[in-house]
C-alpha cells in the first residue's frame, strides 16, 4: 500500500505492519527501552522503567477518537480516563497520575465539551488519580472530526506484568466480551432505534476502570500472572493472537466458555460480525499459572466479576506454532485468525 488506510489504525495485522515499517525496525534495540525495563520491544503503547528502589515506573500513552463521542454507557471522556487507567493496570502498575491533550474541532458545542471533561474528571476523582498536566488545541472546521483526546498515564509497580504467557498457563476473562464494540458498531450503522436493548438500557458500553479487580489480583497473585490485557482494538481475538505470536506456541480456547452477552451474539449474527473481534473497554484477559487459575477465578467472582471464567490454555506446539485454535460448540476446531481490515472504524 502507498497510502494510509483506516485498517492501519485498527490494532490488527495492518497496524503492526505499518509500525514495523515506520518505527520498530528504525529504532536500535538498545533504544527500545530504558535500562533493564521494557518498552516498544514488548509493549508498543507503554513502558516499564526500573527505579533504584526496586520499584518501577509504568507509563502508557493512548489517543481516543471514538465515533460517535457519546454512546450508551459513557462518552469519549469516560473512555479516555478508563482506558488509560486500565493500560497501566495491565502492566502491573497502580495508576497515580494522568496528563491529557485535547484537540477540538472549531464549532464543537462547549456544553458537550463540558460533559465530556466532567466525565473524564469524575473517573479520575473516583479513582483518586491526579491530573497533573495537559494541552488544549482547536483545529479549523474540518481539520479534525469533532474531538480527539490523548492521555499519558503514570503508575508505580513493585513487580511489573511483562505480557509473556507461558506454556501451561490458563487464559481467563473477567466478563462479557465485545460489549463496547457492539454498541459503537450499531450506532455507526444507525440501528439504535431498531435495537430493543438500547431502549431498555440493557446494551451499553462496558467502559470502566478495572482498579477494583486488578489491584487486589496484583497484590495477591503477582507471581502467577504472566500476562494481562484489556482487549480493546482487535478484541479478544487480537489479544490472543498477539500472545500466541509472542510465545511461539498455540493458544487453545473453548467457544462455549467465552462469555458473550446474548444480545451481542444476536446482533453480530444478524450483521455477519464475529464478536470475538469487537473491542471491550472494561474487561481483563489474563494468562495465569495453572496451579492457581481456579483460585483466581473464584477470587475475581468474590470481587463482583461474576462472569469470570477460564476459556482456554497456552500449549507448546510445533505444528500450530503462533496460532490460536478455537474448539467450537460442535466439537471441531477452527483457526481464530488475527484481525485484518477495519471492522468498526474509530471505535476507541
Longest pairwise C-alpha distance within the chain: 57
- What residue spans in the chain does CATH classification 3.30.1330.10 cover? 32-157
> CA-to-CA distance for 309 and 121, rounded, in angstroms?
32
Type and span of the H or E element at 113: helix 110-126
Per-residue pLDDT of the chain (348 residues), as tens digits, is 789 998 898 888 898 899 999 999 999 999 999 998 999 888 668 999 999 999 999 999 999 999 999 999 999 999 999 999 999 999 999 999 999 999 999 999 999 999 999 999 999 999 999 999 999 999 999 999 999 999 999 999 999 998 889 999 999 999 999 999 999 999 999 998 888 888 888 899 999 999 999 999 999 999 999 999 999 999 999 999 999 988 888 999 999 999 999 999 999 999 999 999 999 999 999 999 999 999 999 999 999 999 999 999 999 887 788 899 999 988 899 999 998 888 788 888
Task: Please report where in the chains the cell 487480537 appears, as a residue.
Answer: 238
> CA-to-CA distance for 106 and 139, rounded, in angstroms?
6
pLDDT in tens, 239-277: 999 999 888 889 999 999 999 999 999 999 999 999 999
What was the pLDDT predicted at 200?
85
**C-alpha cell at position 326:** 478455537
Q: In what order do the strands lie in the sheet with 147-157?
A: 46-50, 56-64, 147-157, 94-105, 130-139
Query: Residue 332, Cα to own-chain centre: how many angstroms?
Result: 29
pLDDT in tens, 302-312: 999 999 999 99
Residue 217's SS3 state is helix
Beta strands in the chain (DSSP E): 46-50, 56-64, 70-71, 74-75, 94-105, 130-139, 147-157, 170-173, 225-229, 250-254, 285-288, 309-315, 323-327, 333-335
What CA–CA distances, in Å, run from 280 to 82, 221, 235?
12, 23, 6
Closest CA to 141 of 105, 175, 177: 105
Cβ atoms of 255 and 296 within 8 Å: the answer is: no
Task: Please report where in the chains the cell 450499531 appears, as a residue.
Answer: 186
Cβ atoms of 75 and 208 within 8 Å: the answer is: no
Cβ atoms of 254 and 313 within 8 Å: the answer is: no
CATH superfamily name and code, 170-335? PurM-like C-terminal domain (3.90.650.10)
- Choose the CATH number for 32-157 among 3.30.1330.10, 3.40.50.620, 2.60.40.10, 3.40.605.10: 3.30.1330.10
Peptide bond into 68 cis (omega under 30): yes
Angle at 40 between CA 237 and CA 213, to 5 degrees: 55
Task: Please report where in the chains the cell 511461539 appears, as a residue.
Answer: 248
Report DSSP state, residue 24: G
Give the pTM.
Answer: 0.94
Q: Are strands 74-75 and 225-229 parallel, antiparallel or unpaired?
A: unpaired
**C-alpha cell at position 193:** 432505534
- What residue spans in the chain does CATH classification 3.90.650.10 cover? 170-335
> CA-to-CA distance for 92 and 289, rounded, in angstroms?
16
Residue 163: left (phi > 0), alpha (psi -120 to 50), or beta? left
**C-alpha cell at position 283:** 474487561
> CA-to-CA distance for 317 and 313, rounded, in angstroms?
12
Q: Kindly give, in sequence order, each residue whose CB lies less than 8 Å from that of residue 291, ignoring residues fewer than 6 positions away.
A: 224
> CA-to-CA distance for 244 and 255, rounded, in angstroms?
17
**Does the CA dihedral 314-87-261-175 come out positive or negative?**
positive
Amino acid at each position: 500500500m502507498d497510502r494510509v488506510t483506516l485498517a492501519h489504525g485498527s490494532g490488527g495485522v495492518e497496524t503492526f505492519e505499518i509500525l514495523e515499517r515506520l518505527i520498530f525496525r528504525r529504532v536500535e534495540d538498545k533504544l527500545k527501552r530504558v535500562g533493564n525495563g521494557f518498552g516498544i520491544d514488548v509493549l508498543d503503547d507503554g513502558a516499564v522503567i526500573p527505579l533504584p528502589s526496586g520499584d518501577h515506573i509504568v507509563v502508557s500513552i493512548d489517543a481516543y477518537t471514538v465515533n460517535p463521542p457519546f454512546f450508551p454507557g459513557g462518552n469519549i471522556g469516560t473512555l479516555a480516563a478508563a482506558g488509560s487507567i486500565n493500560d497501566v493496570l495491565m502492566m502491573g502498575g497502580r495508576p497515580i497520575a494522568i496528563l491529557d491533550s485535547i484537540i477540538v474541532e472549531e464549532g464543537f458545542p462547549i456544553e458537550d465539551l463540558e460533559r465530556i471533561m466532567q466525565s473524564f474528571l469524575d473517573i479520575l476523582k473516583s479513582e483518586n488519580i491526579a491530573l497533573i498536566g495537559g494541552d488544549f488545541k482547536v483545529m479549523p472546521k474540518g481539520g479534525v472530526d469533532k474531538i480527539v483526546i490523548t492521555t499519558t498515564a503514570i503508575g508505580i509497580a513493585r513487580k511489573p506484568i511483562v505480557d509473556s504467557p507461558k506454556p501451561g498457563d490458563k487464559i481467563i476473562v473477567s466478563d462479557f466480551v465485545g460489549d463496547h464494540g457492539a454498541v459503537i458498531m450499531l450506532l455507526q450503522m444507525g440501528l439504535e432505534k431498531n435495537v430493543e436493548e438500547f431502549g431498555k438500557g440493557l446494551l451499553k458500553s462496558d467502559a470502566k476502570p478495572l482498579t477494583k479487580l486488578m489491584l487486589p489480583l496484583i497484590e495477591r497473585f503477582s507471581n502467577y500472572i504472566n500476562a494481562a490485557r484489556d482487549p480493546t482494538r482487535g478484541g479478544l481475538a487480537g489479544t490472543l493472537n498477539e500472545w500466541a505470536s509472542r510465545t511461539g506456541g498455540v493458544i487453545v480456547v473453548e467457544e462455549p466458555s467465552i462469555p458473550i452477552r446474548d444480545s451481542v451474539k444476536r446482533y453480530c449474527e444478524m450483521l455477519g460480525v464475529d464478536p470475538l473481534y469487537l473491542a471491550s473497554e472494561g474487561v481483563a484477559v489474563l494468562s495465569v499459572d495453572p496451579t492457581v487459575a481456579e483460585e483466581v477465578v473464584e477470587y475475581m467472582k468474590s470481587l463482583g466479576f461474576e462472569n469470570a471464567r477460564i476459556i482456554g490454555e497456552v500449549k507448546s506446539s510445533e505444528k500450530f506454532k503462533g496460532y490460536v485454535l478455537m474448539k467450537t460448540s460442535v466439537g471441531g476446531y477452527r483457526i481464530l485468525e488475527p484481525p485484518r481490515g477495519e471492522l468498526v472504524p474509530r471505535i476507541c
